[in-house]
Amino acid sequence: MRTGGQASHVVTDASRTLPIPDEISLEAAASMPVTYITAHHMLHHLGNLKPTDSVLIHGGGGGVGTAALQLCQWAGVTNVWSTASAGKADIIRSYDAVAIDRHNENFVEIVRSQTNGRGVDHILDPIGGEHLKRSLSVLAQGGKLYTYGMSSAAPSSKRSLWKALKALRSRPRFDPMLMMSRNQGVFGVHMGTWNDENVMQEQMQNILKGINEGALTPIIDSIYDAKDVAKAHQHIHDGKNIGKVLLKFVE
- Cα–Cα distance, 40 to 185 (Å, whole number): 17
CB–CB of 84/60 below 8 Å?
A: yes
**Short-list 122, 111, 120, 147, CA closest to 48:** 122
Query: Residue 93 burial by CB count (10 A; 0-12/13-18/19+): exposed, middle or buried?
Result: middle
Q: Residue 147: inside a domain, yes or no?
A: yes
Taking only the tens place, the pLDDT of each residue in 109-141 is: 999 999 999 999 999 999 888 889 899 999 999
Residue 153's pLDDT is 47
Residue 239's pLDDT is 86
CB–CB of 222/241 below 8 Å?
A: yes
- Cβ atoms within 10 Å of 219's Cβ, excluding its own: 20
**Residue 77 C-beta-side C-alpha neighbours within 13 Å:** 28
**Short-list 109, 114, 135, 134, CA closest to 124:** 135
Q: Residue 196: inside a domain, yes or no?
A: yes
Taking only the tens place, the pLDDT of each residue in 204-236 is: 999 999 998 999 999 999 999 999 999 999 998
Task: Give the global pTM.
Answer: 0.88
Summarize the confidence of residues 167-188 as an average pLDDT: 77
Name the E strands within the chain.
Answer: 54-58, 79-84, 98-101, 120-125, 139-147, 185-188, 220-225, 244-248
Q: Residue 249: inside a domain, yes or no?
A: no
Q: Residue 30: inside a domain, yes or no?
A: yes
Q: Residue 167: inside a domain, yes or no?
A: yes
Range of the domain at 216: 24-221
Given a cut of 60, is residue 166 above it in pLDDT?
Answer: no
Q: What is the mean pLDDT of the chain?
A: 88
- Cα–Cα distance, 9 to 3 (Å, whole number): 12
Count the domains in the chain. 1
Summarize the confidence of residues 38-64 as an average pLDDT: 96
- Cβ atoms within 10 Å of 17's Cβ, excluding its own: 11
Q: Residue 240: inside a domain, yes or no?
A: no
Q: Residue 175: inside a domain, yes or no?
A: yes
Q: Residue 198: inside a domain, yes or no?
A: yes
Q: For the domain that residue 34 is a member of, what is the CATH number?
A: 3.40.50.720
- Cα–Cα distance, 55 to 198 (Å, whole number): 27
- DSSP string computed for 107-127: HHHHHHHHTTT--EEEEEESS
